[in-house]
Copies of this chain bind each other. A is one copy, B any other.
Amino acid sequence: MEGFSFSTAVTVRFAETDAQGIAHHASFVVWLEVARVAYLDEFAGGYQAIRDRGLEALTTEVQLRYHKAAYFHERLTIWTRCVGLRGSRFRYEYRITRGDVLVAEGHTSHAIVLRDTYRATRVPEWLSSAISKAESASS
């Protein structure tokens, strides 16, 4: 997808559906997290590398727009990019597709904090440069 160099796939689990017969809208929020973890695995040594340094990435905002229903067992692609690193903050943008169809799109915002105090702290240099490198490769 234009503007996105990374994607990961999820298959809709039965437990993720609801009585409307479709994937529950909160399931998508979990999938975005799965995509972020896969992104960090690919480009920055994994989320555990962040945790191992006594840091956590908190989620400070979630926004999702649902265009199409998703159904049990469908394989969805989650296009993911990380943008807007500044100080302790950064943001991911997503497009969720099924084949050529745009199923949903959205973004999440995050802040790096010290695990012990939950105080915001600058995104570490190794992480910001890993992300910059990943994203510059895509343009």
Q: Is A42 an interface residue (CB 8 A)?
A: no
When the two chains form the complex, which single residue of B19, B25, B34, B64 contacts A19, counting CB atoms closer than 8 Å?
B19
Copies per assembly: 4
* CB atoms of B24 and A15 under 8 A apart: yes
- Mark out the residues of chain A between 44 and 80 whose CB falls within 8 Å of any chain B CB in the assembled complex: 46-48, 56, 58-66, 69, 71-73
Highest count of chain B CB atoms <10 Å: which of A20, A60, A73: A20
Interface string of A73-115 (1 = CB under 8 A from B): 1000000000000000000000000000000000000000001
Q: Is A17 an interface residue (CB 8 A)?
A: yes
For A71, what are the chain B residues with a Cβ–Cβ distance below 8 Å?
19
